[in-house]
Amino acid sequence: MDYRLLGRTGVEVSPLALGTMMFGAWGNADHDDSIRIIHKALDAGINFVDTADVYSAGESEVIVGKALKGRREDVVLATKFFMPTGDGPNSSGGSRRYVMKAVENSLRRLDTDYIDLYQMHRPSATTDVEETLGALTDLVQQGKVRSIGSSSYSGSQIVEAQVAAERRNLSRFTTEQPPYSILVRGIEEDVLPTTLRYGMGTLVYSPLSGGWLTGRWRKDAPGAPVSKNRPAARFDMSSPANQRKLDVVEELALLAEANGMTLIDLAIAFVLDHPGVTSAIVGPRTMEQLESQLTGADVTLSTEVLDRIDELVAPGVTLNPDDNSYGAVSLTAAARRR
């Protein structure tokens, strides 16, 4: 693989990052099989592994820790905090109190002395960003964390965090992790230009749009299964937005076939083509899924193919707003003051 610089950190990472949300109770509960998949990814040249403390209640981090024994120094290891990891009122968030607790738990589960990239999983509506950055700065100074990042921040939230870090001389977010795929292009409008402006690395998640771009769900296929990790609104095949997605997927499948590639290759190559994207996070549950996703990093799309994709889904457009990670608070009617 041709490695890429992770923003301005000086660290080089593979264009594919291995996402581990599906290792553990949420997906593949077989630890040995999950470890084999992780080792296969590393052997294929992937050196970037992303997890989170909330994935399978920490089980994913435990599996990753087991898999990296003897190989830790070869891997850029990223994890995330913020989501609830307990029932108490202070078992989530971006407070100093929680950050200091969360990092120790992640270090223990990952069986490592340091985390290469520690990311805030979502912005907090109740915690001053300087509070969070102050705690993360201490972790960097202590050597427990090498770099810090954000996830699913809007453009304005990225700017706010950058300005706060500069004003208070704190460690700044060096990366952002947003959703991005052919069907979910909202970050092209604001987020990607903002990360480029600040020299941030951008690791995009769900390049296959939750399975929509694997070829599994087509117009003549049964409805997608819905689980606690698969929001119903994103897979309700009766909704007009999802019907539109089905139409687009049909056209994309034909486009991929006409150009001698799989739909998965087309989807992954598309997100990696954007100059603002550092790595695409793939999250396989099985070895077969991983192997089907590895080749996407080696595909280069022609101008004609990219133009056809733009005809099907215009730049900056997300076909179904339910696929976004943004706007739960800021875009509500009350927030618009109507």
Residues with Cβ within 8 Å of 219's Cβ and at least 6 positions away in sequence, in order, are 246, 247, 250
> Does the pLDDT of residue 148 top 80, yes or no?
yes
Instruction: Look at the block and give the residue holding tokens 């594919």.
Output: 16
The catalytic position among 3, 55, 153, 326 is: 55
Instruction: Look at the block and give the residue holding tokens 């913020």.
Output: 82
Q: Give the pLDDT confidence score for residue 338 in this predicted structure.
A: 47
For the segment 158-173, the average pLDDT, to the nearest whole number, is 98
Amino acid code (one letter) for 101: K
Per the CB < 8 A criterion, the answer to whether 40 and 18 are in contact is: no
> Does the pLDDT of residue 227 top 50, yes or no?
no
Instruction: Calculate ∠ Cα 289-300-261, nearest 5°.
Output: 50
Short-list 115, 50, 63, CA closest to 279: 50
**pTM, whole model, 2 decimals?**
0.92
Distance CA 15, CA 78 (A): 15
Distance CA 79, CA 86 (A): 18
Task: Choose between 293 and 87: higher pLDDT.
Answer: 293
Per the CB < 8 A criterion, the answer to whether 116 and 147 are in contact is: yes
| Model confidence pLDDT, tens digit, residues 61-79 | 999 999 999 999 999 999 9
Task: Choose between 226 and 25: higher pLDDT.
Answer: 25
Distance CA 104, CA 53 (A): 11
Distance CA 194, CA 188 (A): 10
Q: Which domains does the chain have, with CATH numbers?
A: 4-211+271-297 (3.20.20.100)
Q: CB 105: neighbour CB atoms within 10 A?
A: 14
| Model confidence pLDDT, tens digit, residues 126-138 | 999 999 999 999 9
**Residues paired with residue 118 on neighbouring β-strands, in sequence order:** 79, 148
| Model confidence pLDDT, tens digit, residues 188-203 | 999 999 999 999 999 9
Cα dist from 64 to 60, 72, 83, 210, whole Å: 6, 10, 19, 22
DSSP-derived 3-state class of residue 234: helix
Q: Give the pLDDT confidence score for residue 102 in this predicted structure.
A: 98
Label residue 239 by pLDDT band (50, 70, 90).
confident
Short-list 107, 101, 123, CA closest to 68: 107
Q: Does the active-site annotation cover 55? A: yes
> Does the pLDDT of residue 324 top 60, yes or no?
yes
And the tokens for 249? 């997927």
Q: Give the pLDDT confidence score for residue 52 in this predicted structure.
A: 98
> H-type helices in the chain, by residue range?
31-43, 59-67, 96-110, 129-142, 155-168, 191-197, 232-235, 240-258, 263-273, 287-294, 303-312, 333-336
